[in-house]
Amino acid sequence: MSAHSSAQTPARSFSQVRNELLDRMEGFSPAYVAAVAACAAVVAWALFAWGYQIAFGIGHAGIRRPVYWGFYIVNFVFWIGISHAGTLISAILRLTGAGWRKPVTRAAEAITVFCLMIGALFPLIHIGRTAYFYWMLPYPNDRLLWPNFRSPLVWDLTAIMTYLTGSVIYLYLPLVPDLAEIADRSTGRKRRIYRALSLGWTGSDRQWQALERAMKLMAAMILAIAVSVHSVVAYDFAMSVAPTWHSTIFAPYFVVGAIFSGIAALVLVMAALRKAMRLQDYLRESHFANLSKLLLLMSLVWLYFTFSEHLTTWYGNFPREINVLNVREHGFYGLLFWTMVVCNFVIPLVLIGISRLRCIPTIVVSSVAVLVGMWLERFLIVVPTLSTPPLPSAWGTYMPSWIELSITAGTFAAMALLYLLFVKAFPIIAIWEYDEGIPAR
Amino acid sequence: MAEQAEQRDPRSEQRVPQWAMAIDLDRCTGCEACVVACASENNVPTAGEEEAARGRAKHWIRVDRYYEGEFPDIRVKFRPVLCQQCDSAPCEPVCPVYATYQNAEGLNVQVYNRCIGTRYCAANCPYTVRFFNWFTPEWAEPLGLQLNPDVSVRPGGVAEKCTFCAQRIKRAKLDAAEEERELADGDVQPACVSSCPAEAMVFGDMGDGDSKVSKAIASGRSGQLLADLGTRPRVFYLEKAD
Amino acid sequence: MTKEYLHAEFGSAEAAAGAIESLCGAGVSKSAMELYSRRPVETHPPLLPRPSRMSLGAVLSAVAVGSGATGLVFWMQLDYPLATGGMPITSGWATAVLTFETTMAGAVLGTVLMMLWESGLVGPKSGAPVPRLPDRGVVLQVVCGDGAERDLVKGRLADAGAAKVYSAKAG
């Protein structure tokens, strides 16, 4: 592995690293332009689908009684879950002083911000009167009343606003010295823009010390916020009286799933960056190996939670809960259920757990499997419960329409698009945190 | 059984009625006259064949059928299910905009204009009696001419449900005030109750011990739907103990 | 007496540390010095300790925002009391999540504001000229008076192994 060979070869100097990373931001290859165009087209189609739903009625989506929550809430939970990538990798590794995090953190923090932006959009897509979403905010209004602070949705709003604010700052602060570097190297309007964005960073020790102190505090806070955010997302379900939703372990279960899918997303993004931006020397095999071990650990923790949740339901044998369990584990949903188990547990266990099979391609395959599995997990939490309410006369089914499918596809494209734009505007690896272990060419 | 502290109107010092309904399942024939009466009283639009098949039909009251025995020795039991007007309603606290709350008369009121359509209430209702306007409602001509002027037509994107015919309660109160008398038992008859040919449904003030509904509740045959959830419904089902 | 800024380039943080020690011995205060670099100088303790109240600022801001928001929530619930689900109008349990989130929001904002203030990115500018930073090593900036004091500092900087010493006017 290249990490070991770096001991022999002389390390690359700071200026080499800086110039190399900044050069990667320059120029647009035909493949890049094609990728941006493709993503933008899918996003535009999704926006059209959303506009169609707003203009002609939300009934054009597939949600129906009794499955009042469908793909939109599944996607909401899924995307908010993935946003935990940045938090875990960056904050935990920063707090524990793990040196290998340095080339990984910014890629992870950017995932957090973009996923949150996408995830926070889903409640707006989901609600029947999108134009009035701001009625959830507390402000003096002509309806002469305040929002209902007992509603978990208001908790959600507060938590996501806090998390978004925190993670944007958490991404931005360590970006500031790099913005000053870009300004230093550029001229004209670009220089002025980056100069302004860098807030007049000069590199004085006062600034470095304040930055380091702030990042330590922020890492601790963002960790607590991230855990709370996905707990609150879980409370959306756990505060209800619906069978199998009203569960005390839902908050930690959701947090574990969130971190699990977040690591998978980070691996996927890193593999794409490594290939597309030729960052093999920065995002090394050792990084993937470390992340894959975290992924395997979270897979086992996830299995433990899933097992506990299902075993207690099955053994408890309460009719309403057993009905949900039967729907979830048999028939079409049963197919999805066992696919989920294979994706989230069997594939990572085999491909990562067996060390001879562990390499970047298998880690990437496991990550894709985990993302699929975790999406299915969210789906299997939301839909079977709603389709099996306590009174059997109200049981129903759910099938998404082209609108839900388009919007779901659009969010994946939006994620890719935001990332494509981000890597051209900002260095995706923190230059100032440059790792001494990068071998010279 | 729901216990309700006696409430008084702060202005008139009059006792605030506590609305409740009793449905005698031994009398119900499952004729669904209540379903039709409710739809026409409350301007509940029809969904159409295709949308109804997709689960978009709205029935503020429905008649659930339970089958006992093996064919051909089969016995069908009917249970009209409407909003249970729970005292501890799961739908209320989850609404972020107070579109549904508990009023002093024990009604689980729905304020259409406040609703932003999160459908959290509907997802959290164990009785699945909450409905959603998937589209702006339309009535084929000339059905639009028979809309009840006392009931608002709900726009697309908001939740709705049985109101215990809040408009009839209001009308009865106004009539009583005009005639300068107190509201008497039987003054308020929701559409389902007044249309029931078997007289299986009774509506009234359960805070008044002499009312028909109070007596029905106290008959010893009464129970609540999914009572173990602790939602404290205001709808009581009378049934012969087996 | 006019202020003058002396810039000295050092190839490494260790060399700059020697210069700082030597200047301190000559009676130059550490508050008159500033170290510039393209990458953080990671020595523990830092060569030039900067007292910080960032943690205190974060805590105070967290308490202020958290309790303020919680108080506002209680007031708003009492201002338009609507009963839902048989719950009390105000309750600690139903407000706990909001208290936590707003407290954390306060902590984040407090930290950022303190960071911007203590780093000098926001607030009154010292007017010190910004040295041109080498790719490697650090620049030590010393504020000193003119004449004899300047010559003394210059000498000490050169003795400590500065690659280049030059003076700059306030910007």
**Residue range C165-171: mean pLDDT, rounded:** 77
From C101, C119, C135, residue closest to A207, measured CB to CB: C119
Which residues of B fall within a CB distance of 8 Å from C82? 98, 101-102
* Share above pLDDT 70 across residues of chain C, in percent, rounded to a whole number: 98
Q: Is the pLDDT of residue A9 over 70?
A: no
User: pLDDT at residue A434 above 50?
Assistant: yes
Check whether residue C81 and residue C61 sit in a common domain.
Answer: yes
Average pLDDT, chain A: 92
CATH assignment of B19-238, given 3.30.70.20, 3.40.1030.10, 1.10.1040.10, 3.40.50.2300? Answer: 3.30.70.20
pLDDT band at C49 (very low <50, low <70, confident <90, very high): confident
Establish whether this prediction's ipTM goes over 0.85. yes
Most confidently modeled of B154-158, B181-185, C26-30, C140-144? B154-158
Domain count, chain A: 1
Confidence band of B218 (pLDDT split at 50, 70, 90): very high
Q: What is the CATH number of the domain that holds C29?
A: 3.30.70
Q: Which two tokens stand for residue A229?
A: 């955010």
Closest CA to B131 of B172, B97, B100, B93: B100
**Helical pair A285-316 and A319-329, crossing angle rounded to 10 deg:** 140
Strand B19-24 relative to strand B235-238: parallel, antiparallel, unpaired? Answer: parallel
Tokens of residue A301, six digits: 């923790």
Instruction: Give the pLDDT confidence score for residue A55 in this predicted structure.
Output: 95
Chain B residues within 8 A (CB-CB) of chain A?
51, 54-56, 62, 64-65, 81, 90, 93-98, 113-120, 122-124, 126-128, 131-136, 155-159, 225-226, 229, 231
Chains that touch C (3 or more CB pairs under 8 A): A, B
Average pLDDT over residues B55-61: 93
Q: In which band, very low, low, confident or very high, does the pLDDT at B140 lie, cut at 50, 70 and 90?
A: confident
pLDDT of A436 reads 64
Tokens of A420: 């494509």
Q: Which domain holds residue C104?
A: 54-118
Q: Which domain holds residue A122?
A: 29-425
pLDDT digits (tens, 9 = 90+) for A228-265: 999 999 999 999 999 999 999 999 999 999 999 999 99
User: How many independent structural domains does chain C possess?
Assistant: 2
Confidence grade of residue A72 (pLDDT, cut at 50, 70, 90): very high
Query: Confidence band (pLDDT; 50, 70, 90) for A4?
Result: very low
The pLDDT of residue B3 is: 46
Instruction: List CB contacts of B180: < 8 A, sequence separation 6 or more.
Output: none
DSSP secondary structure, C146-158, as one string:
STHHHHHHHHHHH
In a domain, A312, yes or no: yes
Domain match, C58 and C70 both: yes
pLDDT tens digit sequence for A177-211? 999 999 988 999 999 999 999 998 999 999 999 99
Residue C98 pLDDT > 60: yes
Q: Which residue did the predictor score with more confidence, A314 or C47?
A: A314
Average the pLDDT over A172-181 and give the result. Answer: 94
CB environment B144-160: b (16+ within 10 A), e (fewer): eeebeeebebbbbbbbb
Q: What angle do CA A21, A23, A29 make, to 5 degrees?
A: 115
Q: Is residue A269's pLDDT more than 70?
A: yes
Question: In this structure, what token pair is assigned to residue A201?
Answer: 């960073």
Could you tell me which of A361, A259, A291, A299 has the C-alpha nearest to residue A101?
Answer: A291
* Helix/strand/coil percent split, chain C, to 5: 45, 15, 40
CA distance A426 to A151: 39
Residue A24 lies in a domain: no
What's phi and psi for C121, nearest 5 deg?
-70, -30
The residues with which B110 forms a beta bridge, in sequence order, are: B100
Measured CA to CA, the distance from residue A75 to residue A77 in angstroms comes to 5
The structural domains of chain B, with segments of one domain joined by +, span: 19-238
User: Is A152 touching B (CB cutoff 8 A)?
Assistant: yes
- The reply to whether residue C108 touches residue A169, judged by beta carbons under 8 angstroms, is yes
Q: Which CATH number is A396's domain given?
A: 1.20.1630.10
Which residues in chain C are contacts of A210 at CB distance < 8 A? 50, 52, 54, 114-115, 118-119
Residues C19 and C69 in one domain: no
Do C58 and C45 have their domain in common?
A: no
pLDDT given at position C128: 83
Average pLDDT over chain B reads 91
pLDDT at A411 over 90: yes
pLDDT (0 to 100) of residue B109? 94
* CB burial string B40-57: b at 16+ within 10 A, e below: ebbbbbebeeebeebbbb
The yes-or-no verdict on residue A32 having pLDDT over 80 is yes
Spell out where B45-196 has E strands.
Answer: 62-68, 75-81, 100-102, 108-110, 131-132, 159-160
pLDDT at B159 over 60: yes
Q: pTM for the whole thing?
A: 0.94
pLDDT at C160: 86
What is the mean pLDDT of the segment spanning A378-389?
95
Q: What is the arrangement of strands in the sheet containing B19-24, beginning at the earlier edge strand?
A: B201-205, B19-24, B235-238, B222-223
pLDDT given at position A437: 62
CB contact under 8 A, B156 and A393: no
- Asked whether residue A403 carries a pLDDT value surpassing 70, the answer given is yes
